[in-house]
Amino acid sequence: MTAGFHGERLKKARHHLATQKLEALLVAKPENRRYLSGFTGDAGMLLVAPGNAVLFTDGRYQEQARLEAPNWELIIYKGSFIEALAEICTELRLQEIGFEKDYLTYQQFEKLQEHLPHVALRPVTGLIEKLRLIKDVREISLIQEAAVITGAALWYLLGALKYGQPEQEVAGILEFFMRRHGGGLPAFETIVAAGERGALPHGIASEQRIRRGQLVVIDLGASYQGYAADLTRTICLGRIDARQREIYEVVREAQACALAKIRPGVRAGEVDAAAREFLAARGYGEYFSHALGHGVGLSVHEEPRLAARQETVLEPGMVVTVEPGVYLPGWGGVRIEDTVLIAQNGYEILTPVTKDLLVI
Ligand SMILES: [Mn+2]
């Protein structure tokens, strides 16, 4: 099984290299490394060549690498990784290797140049990420599991929330629940933003206490075996006024407009536009200050972006967030977000939590 799907991914990567007329690729980005090889350690690099698949790591990960990536040729380097790489390049007579230009540091690049004087270095971007755009069935089931843990944490919180709790404590309740139910580290720092702080789209939990009458934006995501989920709900404590209710309903309708657009063949930008035009027509256009959504997988933010003018065409197997929001400085904010799978005939929401206005 393990060899099966990783073998399939490696095959696709090699095919991709061939179409780019690239002899070999050095894979440094942790998510890409994990995607291709299954190796989950903190340190290591892959070299993908037509006849070789090499995993370089250090002594701490020897046993783990053998277990997780049994079909990769394992090289445990002692001193410097680059010296080990230089040896392999000579052995395989490689003339050119690609490197991930949006990940490798300039210093690492300089060292590669220094130690591989006879190898041309070609910067590439998004090569393995392109493969990761469409999730296979195993990936979808892992994202689904992360989404279920995330949704359950929010449901649990609704019963556990008390007036006067600091935002940080609320975040801690959510994170502990997710870990207790099989989640790894949270996929990102949990956002709990009450009252005026809700106007900060990325207002991570602070020491401020949540009070009756406040809207609270709660944005959380479990990870499960490396895969992320992403969910936001905005709830109200104790009582709600007419304006809070109006803005909540506007955001909820904006999300419904965007979801109604989603199906294979539609461009990402059109989905963004559906929510954006609806909010503009209702007078909230300038208060929706970010993109509608992003891909979710081994990274919590990856391709495709659901943003203005994005030409990517949606395909079955993509997983994206749909998260319109309205943020009014000095007042607060509302965001509603689901993680959504693009399906053959439309879409499937993976984050199973009601969007009815919750007044706790
Ligand atoms: Mn998100």
Measured CA to CA, the distance from residue 145 to residue 139 in angstroms comes to 10
pLDDT tens for each residue of 72-113: 999 999 988 999 999 999 999 999 999 999 999 999 999 999
Q: How far is the CA of 347 from the centre of ligand 1 (A)?
A: 17
User: Is the N-terminal amide bond of 304 cis, ω within 30° of 0?
Assistant: yes
Task: Report helix, strand and coil shares of the chain as percent, to nearest 5.
Answer: 40, 25, 35
Q: How far is the CA of 86 from the centre of ligand 1 (A)?
A: 40
What tokens appear for 358 in the block?
């919750």
Contact assessment for residue 276 and residue 297, using Cβ atoms and an 8 Å cutoff? no
In terms of CATH, what superfamily is 137-349? Answer: Creatinase/methionine aminopeptidase superfamily (3.90.230.10)
Q: State the average pLDDT over residues 152-181.
A: 97
Q: For residue 76, what are the β-bridge partners?
A: 57
Q: How far is the CA of 180 from the centre of ligand 1 (A)?
A: 23
Q: State the average pLDDT over residues 186-202.
A: 96
Measured CA to CA, the distance from residue 69 to residue 40 in angstroms comes to 9
Q: How far is the CA of 186 from the centre of ligand 1 (A)?
A: 13
Q: How far is the CA of 337 from the centre of ligand 1 (A)?
A: 7
Residue 3 is predicted with a pLDDT of 54
Q: How far is the CA of 336 from the centre of ligand 1 (A)?
A: 10
Give the residue extent of every domain in the chain: 2-132, 137-349
Q: What is the pTM of this model?
A: 0.95
Q: How far is the CA of 229 from the centre of ligand 1 (A)?
A: 9
Percent of the chain with pLDDT over 90: 95
Residue 2 is predicted with a pLDDT of 45
- Average model confidence (pLDDT) across the chain: 96
In terms of CATH, what superfamily is 2-132? Answer: Creatinase/prolidase N-terminal domain (3.40.350.10)
pLDDT tens for each residue of 233-289: 999 999 999 999 999 999 999 999 999 999 999 999 999 999 999 999 999 999 999
Residue 79 is predicted with a pLDDT of 84
Give Cα 42 to chain centroid, integer Å. Answer: 18
Q: How far is the CA of 225 from the centre of ligand 1 (A)?
A: 19
Amino acid at 350: L
Kindly tell me if the per-residue pLDDT of 226 is higher than 80.
yes
Q: State the average pLDDT over residues 338-356.
A: 97
